Structure 1
Protein backbone atom coordinates (compact mmCIF):
# COMPACT_ATOMS: atom_id res chain seq x y z
CA UNK A 1 0.00 0.00 0.00
CA UNK A 2 1.26 3.44 -0.83
CA UNK A 3 1.54 5.77 2.15
CA UNK A 4 1.24 8.93 0.04
CA UNK A 5 -2.08 10.62 0.81
CA UNK A 6 -3.28 14.20 1.12
CA UNK A 7 -2.71 13.77 4.89
CA UNK A 8 0.95 12.76 4.54
CA UNK A 9 1.58 15.48 1.97
CA UNK A 10 -0.01 18.04 4.32
CA UNK A 11 2.28 17.02 7.18
CA UNK A 12 5.35 16.99 4.94
CA UNK A 13 4.53 20.49 3.69
CA UNK A 14 4.22 21.68 7.31
CA UNK A 15 7.53 20.03 8.24
CA UNK A 16 5.92 17.68 10.76
CA UNK A 17 7.72 14.38 11.30
CA UNK A 18 5.67 11.18 11.35
CA UNK A 19 6.06 7.44 10.91
CA UNK A 20 3.48 5.62 8.77
CA UNK A 21 2.19 2.29 10.08
CA UNK A 22 0.02 0.02 7.99
CA UNK A 23 -2.40 -2.54 9.38
CA UNK A 24 -5.17 -4.80 8.13
CA UNK A 25 -8.35 -2.73 8.26
CA UNK A 26 -11.41 -4.72 9.37
CA UNK A 27 -14.58 -2.98 8.17
CA UNK A 28 -16.69 -5.49 10.11
CA UNK A 29 -15.23 -4.50 13.46
CA UNK A 30 -17.70 -2.96 15.91
CA UNK A 31 -15.08 -0.48 17.09
CA UNK A 32 -12.64 0.22 14.28
CA UNK A 33 -10.33 2.41 16.41
CA UNK A 34 -9.90 -0.30 19.02
CA UNK A 35 -9.25 -2.91 16.32
CA UNK A 36 -6.62 -0.65 14.74
CA UNK A 37 -4.91 -0.02 18.09
CA UNK A 38 -4.75 -3.73 18.76
CA UNK A 39 -3.45 -4.42 15.24
CA UNK A 40 -0.43 -2.14 15.77
CA UNK A 41 0.08 -2.93 19.46
CA UNK A 42 -0.79 0.53 20.77
CA UNK A 43 -2.87 1.30 23.89
CA UNK A 44 -6.35 2.39 22.68
CA UNK A 45 -6.02 5.79 24.39
CA UNK A 46 -3.02 6.64 22.19
CA UNK A 47 -4.86 5.89 18.94
CA UNK A 48 -6.80 9.04 18.09
CA UNK A 49 -9.91 8.81 15.96
CA UNK A 50 -11.10 11.65 13.76
CA UNK A 51 -14.81 12.36 14.12
CA UNK A 52 -16.56 14.92 11.97
CA UNK A 53 -19.36 16.81 13.69
CA UNK A 54 -21.75 19.65 12.97
CA UNK A 55 -21.89 22.50 15.47
CA UNK A 56 -24.87 24.77 14.97
CA UNK A 57 -25.05 23.23 11.48
CA UNK A 58 -21.42 24.04 10.58
CA UNK A 59 -18.75 21.38 9.99
CA UNK A 60 -16.07 20.79 12.60
CA UNK A 61 -13.50 18.12 13.31
CA UNK A 62 -12.69 16.41 16.61
CA UNK A 63 -9.69 14.20 17.40
CA UNK A 64 -10.25 11.95 20.40
CA UNK A 65 -8.88 8.74 21.95
CA UNK A 66 -10.14 5.55 20.32
CA UNK A 67 -11.46 4.23 23.62
CA UNK A 68 -13.52 7.32 24.50
CA UNK A 69 -16.93 8.67 23.47
CA UNK A 70 -17.66 12.26 22.49
CA UNK A 71 -19.98 14.33 24.66
CA UNK A 72 -22.01 16.43 22.23
CA UNK A 73 -22.73 18.89 25.04
CA UNK A 74 -18.97 19.38 25.59
CA UNK A 75 -18.31 19.58 21.84
CA UNK A 76 -20.93 22.31 21.41
CA UNK A 77 -19.53 24.27 24.35
CA UNK A 78 -15.93 23.90 23.16
CA UNK A 79 -16.80 25.27 19.73
CA UNK A 80 -18.94 28.06 21.25
CA UNK A 81 -22.11 26.60 19.77
CA UNK A 82 -25.57 25.77 21.08
CA UNK A 83 -25.77 22.28 19.59
CA UNK A 84 -23.56 19.55 18.18
CA UNK A 85 -24.27 16.31 16.35
CA UNK A 86 -22.31 13.67 14.49
CA UNK A 87 -21.99 14.48 10.81
CA UNK A 88 -23.64 11.93 8.51
CA UNK A 89 -20.93 9.67 7.00
CA UNK A 90 -21.72 10.59 3.37
CA UNK A 91 -21.42 14.30 4.16
CA UNK A 92 -18.16 13.73 6.08
CA UNK A 93 -16.74 11.89 3.05
CA UNK A 94 -17.73 14.70 0.66
CA UNK A 95 -16.27 17.43 2.87
CA UNK A 96 -13.02 15.69 3.79
CA UNK A 97 -12.29 13.78 0.59
CA UNK A 98 -11.69 10.64 2.67
CA UNK A 99 -13.73 7.46 3.18
CA UNK A 100 -15.13 6.73 6.64
CA UNK A 101 -12.66 4.55 8.50
CA UNK A 102 -9.91 6.57 6.84
CA UNK A 103 -10.81 10.17 7.68
CA UNK A 104 -7.82 12.20 8.79
CA UNK A 105 -7.78 15.70 10.23
CA UNK A 106 -4.82 16.44 7.93
CA UNK A 107 -5.21 17.47 4.29
CA UNK A 108 -8.99 17.57 4.22
CA UNK A 109 -10.58 18.75 0.98
CA UNK A 110 -12.46 21.50 2.87
CA UNK A 111 -10.69 22.06 6.18
CA UNK A 112 -12.92 22.57 9.19
CA UNK A 113 -12.00 23.91 12.63
CA UNK A 114 -10.29 21.19 14.69
CA UNK A 115 -10.27 20.46 18.40
CA UNK A 116 -8.26 17.72 20.13
CA UNK A 117 -9.32 16.03 23.36
CA UNK A 118 -7.08 17.85 25.84
CA UNK A 119 -6.19 14.64 27.69
CA UNK A 120 -4.36 13.33 24.59
CA UNK A 121 -1.68 15.98 24.69
CA UNK A 122 0.35 14.54 27.55
CA UNK A 123 1.81 11.60 25.61
CA UNK A 124 4.86 12.06 23.36
CA UNK A 125 3.44 10.01 20.48
CA UNK A 126 -0.03 9.14 19.21
CA UNK A 127 -1.44 7.45 16.11
CA UNK A 128 -3.85 9.37 13.88
CA UNK A 129 -5.44 8.16 10.66
CA UNK A 130 -3.28 8.83 7.62
CA UNK A 131 -6.05 9.40 5.11
CA UNK A 132 -6.90 5.86 4.07
CA UNK A 133 -8.20 2.74 5.70
CA UNK A 134 -5.31 0.73 7.10
CA UNK A 135 -2.86 3.62 7.43
CA UNK A 136 -1.96 5.30 10.72
CA UNK A 137 0.59 8.04 11.32
CA UNK A 138 2.63 8.04 14.52
CA UNK A 139 3.52 11.58 15.57
CA UNK A 140 3.78 14.09 18.39
CA UNK A 141 0.25 15.32 19.27
CA UNK A 142 1.54 18.85 19.96
CA UNK A 143 3.06 19.02 16.47
CA UNK A 144 -0.17 17.69 14.97
CA UNK A 145 -2.17 20.38 16.76
CA UNK A 146 0.20 23.12 15.68
CA UNK A 147 0.10 22.01 12.02
CA UNK A 148 -3.70 22.11 12.08
CA UNK A 149 -3.86 25.36 14.09
CA UNK A 150 -6.16 23.32 16.33
CA UNK A 151 -7.31 23.91 19.85
CA UNK A 152 -7.77 21.55 22.77
CA UNK A 153 -10.70 21.01 25.12
CA UNK A 154 -12.38 18.34 27.23
CA UNK A 155 -14.58 16.77 24.53
CA UNK A 156 -15.26 13.27 25.83
CA UNK A 157 -17.87 11.96 28.23
CA UNK A 158 -16.61 10.98 31.67
Structure 2
Protein backbone atom coordinates (compact mmCIF):
# COMPACT_ATOMS: atom_id res chain seq x y z
CA UNK A 1 0.00 0.00 0.00
CA UNK A 2 1.46 3.39 -0.99
CA UNK A 3 1.92 6.20 1.54
CA UNK A 4 -0.88 8.22 -0.09
CA UNK A 5 -3.19 5.21 -0.02
CA UNK A 6 -2.41 4.72 3.68
CA UNK A 7 -3.13 8.41 4.35
CA UNK A 8 -6.33 8.29 2.29
CA UNK A 9 -7.54 5.30 4.26
CA UNK A 10 -6.75 7.12 7.50
CA UNK A 11 -9.54 9.71 7.51
CA UNK A 12 -13.22 9.77 6.56
CA UNK A 13 -12.63 13.10 4.77
CA UNK A 14 -10.16 11.55 2.36
CA UNK A 15 -12.41 8.54 1.77
CA UNK A 16 -15.23 10.94 0.79
CA UNK A 17 -12.96 12.80 -1.61
CA UNK A 18 -11.65 9.57 -3.07
CA UNK A 19 -15.19 8.48 -3.90
CA UNK A 20 -16.09 11.89 -5.37
CA UNK A 21 -13.63 11.54 -8.22
CA UNK A 22 -12.38 15.13 -8.13
CA UNK A 23 -8.84 16.48 -8.25
CA UNK A 24 -7.21 17.33 -4.95
CA UNK A 25 -3.81 17.16 -3.30
CA UNK A 26 -2.90 16.01 0.19
CA UNK A 27 -0.24 17.93 2.10
CA UNK A 28 1.26 16.57 5.29
CA UNK A 29 3.41 18.41 7.82
CA UNK A 30 4.81 17.71 11.27
CA UNK A 31 2.22 19.05 13.73
CA UNK A 32 3.69 20.67 16.84
CA UNK A 33 1.60 19.48 19.83
CA UNK A 34 2.25 22.86 21.51
CA UNK A 35 0.57 24.75 18.66
CA UNK A 36 -2.81 26.23 19.51
CA UNK A 37 -3.56 28.08 16.27
CA UNK A 38 -3.87 25.01 14.06
CA UNK A 39 -4.74 26.81 10.85
CA UNK A 40 -1.94 29.32 11.29
CA UNK A 41 0.46 26.46 11.88
CA UNK A 42 -0.73 24.77 8.67
CA UNK A 43 -0.26 27.95 6.63
CA UNK A 44 3.21 28.53 8.04
CA UNK A 45 4.47 24.97 7.70
CA UNK A 46 3.07 24.56 4.19
CA UNK A 47 4.28 28.01 3.06
CA UNK A 48 0.78 29.06 2.02
CA UNK A 49 -0.93 32.45 2.40
CA UNK A 50 -3.22 32.30 5.49
CA UNK A 51 -6.18 33.59 3.48
CA UNK A 52 -6.07 30.35 1.42
CA UNK A 53 -6.22 28.07 4.48
CA UNK A 54 -9.78 27.64 5.77
CA UNK A 55 -10.58 26.48 9.28
CA UNK A 56 -13.63 24.30 9.86
CA UNK A 57 -15.77 25.35 12.83
CA UNK A 58 -18.73 23.61 14.44
CA UNK A 59 -21.33 26.25 15.30
CA UNK A 60 -24.82 26.25 16.79
CA UNK A 61 -27.31 28.58 15.10
CA UNK A 62 -30.43 28.82 17.24
CA UNK A 63 -29.19 25.59 18.88
CA UNK A 64 -28.97 23.74 15.53
CA UNK A 65 -25.51 22.57 14.37
CA UNK A 66 -23.91 24.02 11.25
CA UNK A 67 -20.41 23.92 9.81
CA UNK A 68 -18.63 27.18 8.99
CA UNK A 69 -15.43 27.59 6.99
CA UNK A 70 -13.46 30.82 7.25
CA UNK A 71 -9.88 31.77 6.37
CA UNK A 72 -7.38 31.39 9.20
CA UNK A 73 -6.38 35.00 8.47
CA UNK A 74 -9.65 36.16 10.01
CA UNK A 75 -12.35 35.30 12.50
CA UNK A 76 -15.88 34.02 12.18
CA UNK A 77 -18.51 36.77 12.41
CA UNK A 78 -21.20 35.02 14.48
CA UNK A 79 -23.88 37.61 13.66
CA UNK A 80 -23.20 37.32 9.93
CA UNK A 81 -23.35 33.52 10.12
CA UNK A 82 -26.63 33.59 12.05
CA UNK A 83 -28.09 35.90 9.43
CA UNK A 84 -26.80 33.76 6.53
CA UNK A 85 -28.32 30.69 8.17
CA UNK A 86 -31.67 32.42 8.71
CA UNK A 87 -31.26 32.36 12.48
CA UNK A 88 -31.06 34.84 15.30
CA UNK A 89 -28.05 33.73 17.34
CA UNK A 90 -24.89 31.76 16.60
CA UNK A 91 -22.52 30.38 19.21
CA UNK A 92 -19.37 28.31 18.98
CA UNK A 93 -20.03 24.73 20.04
CA UNK A 94 -17.89 23.46 22.88
CA UNK A 95 -14.84 21.38 22.04
CA UNK A 96 -16.29 18.13 23.41
CA UNK A 97 -19.60 18.64 21.59
CA UNK A 98 -17.90 19.54 18.31
CA UNK A 99 -15.62 16.50 18.48
CA UNK A 100 -18.49 14.18 19.37
CA UNK A 101 -20.77 15.45 16.59
CA UNK A 102 -18.15 15.57 13.85
CA UNK A 103 -15.95 12.62 14.79
CA UNK A 104 -12.86 14.81 14.41
CA UNK A 105 -10.47 16.37 16.92
CA UNK A 106 -10.14 20.12 17.21
CA UNK A 107 -7.55 21.28 14.72
CA UNK A 108 -8.38 18.34 12.46
CA UNK A 109 -12.05 19.02 11.67
CA UNK A 110 -12.99 18.62 8.04
CA UNK A 111 -16.28 19.50 6.37
CA UNK A 112 -16.12 16.07 4.69
CA UNK A 113 -16.97 12.78 6.37
CA UNK A 114 -18.50 14.16 9.55
CA UNK A 115 -20.59 11.76 11.63
CA UNK A 116 -23.76 13.72 10.92
CA UNK A 117 -24.27 16.02 7.96
CA UNK A 118 -24.88 19.67 8.79
CA UNK A 119 -25.53 22.71 6.61
CA UNK A 120 -22.22 24.24 5.50
CA UNK A 121 -21.48 27.97 5.19
CA UNK A 122 -18.26 29.20 3.60
CA UNK A 123 -16.91 32.74 3.62
CA UNK A 124 -17.24 34.33 0.19
CA UNK A 125 -13.49 35.02 0.05
CA UNK A 126 -13.14 31.36 -0.98
CA UNK A 127 -13.96 32.36 -4.57
CA UNK A 128 -10.91 34.66 -4.76
CA UNK A 129 -8.47 31.75 -4.92
CA UNK A 130 -7.50 29.16 -7.53
CA UNK A 131 -7.14 26.59 -4.73
CA UNK A 132 -7.75 26.49 -0.98
CA UNK A 133 -6.61 24.30 1.89
CA UNK A 134 -8.88 22.59 4.41
CA UNK A 135 -8.24 19.97 7.04
CA UNK A 136 -8.08 16.41 5.81
CA UNK A 137 -9.35 15.04 9.11
CA UNK A 138 -6.38 15.18 11.44
CA UNK A 139 -3.81 17.68 12.64
CA UNK A 140 -0.89 17.92 10.25
CA UNK A 141 -2.87 16.85 7.18
CA UNK A 142 -4.42 19.31 4.70
CA UNK A 143 -6.37 18.97 1.46
CA UNK A 144 -5.75 21.41 -1.37
CA UNK A 145 -8.64 21.70 -3.79
CA UNK A 146 -10.46 24.07 -6.11
CA UNK A 147 -13.10 26.25 -4.42
CA UNK A 148 -15.72 25.13 -6.95
CA UNK A 149 -15.23 21.49 -5.92
CA UNK A 150 -15.35 22.39 -2.22
CA UNK A 151 -18.63 24.25 -2.72
CA UNK A 152 -20.13 21.48 -4.83
CA UNK A 153 -19.20 18.62 -2.49
CA UNK A 154 -20.35 20.40 0.67
CA UNK A 155 -23.46 21.91 -0.96
CA UNK A 156 -22.37 25.05 0.86
CA UNK A 157 -23.97 28.44 1.06
CA UNK A 158 -21.50 31.24 0.36
CA UNK A 159 -21.73 34.47 2.36
CA UNK A 160 -19.51 37.08 3.98
CA UNK A 161 -19.19 35.35 7.37
CA UNK A 162 -15.60 36.29 8.28
CA UNK A 163 -13.97 39.40 9.62
CA UNK A 164 -10.66 39.34 7.79
CA UNK A 165 -7.51 40.72 9.40
- What is the rounded CA distance, in whole Å, between the counterparts of 2:148 and 2:69 in structure 1? 12
Match of 1:94 in 2: 100
SS class of match (1:10): helix
1:30 Cα offset (Å): 3.8
1:45 Cα offset (Å): 0.5
- Do the aligned partners of residues 125 and 115 (structure 1) sit closer, same or farther apart at CA in structure 2, a change above 3 Å counting? same
Match of 2:64 in 1: 58
Cα offsets for 1:113-153 (capped at 9, x unmatched)? 00110011121111100001110001001101101111100
- What is the rounded CA distance, in whole Å, between the counterparts of 1:39 and 1:78 in structure 2? 32
Match of 1:140 in 2: 146
Match of 1:28 in 2: 34
- What is the rounded CA distance, in whole Å, between the counterparts of 2:163 and 2:52 in structure 1? 17
Query: Structure 2-normalised TM-score?
Result: 0.92
Query: Structure 1-normalised TM-score?
Result: 0.95
Once structures 1 and 2 are overlaid, which stretch shifts more, 1-10 or 17-26? 1-10
- What is the rounded CA distance, in whole Å, between the counterparts of 1:150 and 1:15 in structure 2? 18
Match of 1:116 in 2: 122
Please, which runs of 5 or more residues in structure 2 have no aligned partner?
none
**RMSD of Structure 2 on Structure 1 (CA):** 1.2
Please, which runs of 5 or more residues in structure 1 have no aligned partner?
none
Cα offsets for 1:47-102 (capped at 9, x unmatched)? 11101100000100011101110111101001000000001011111111111110
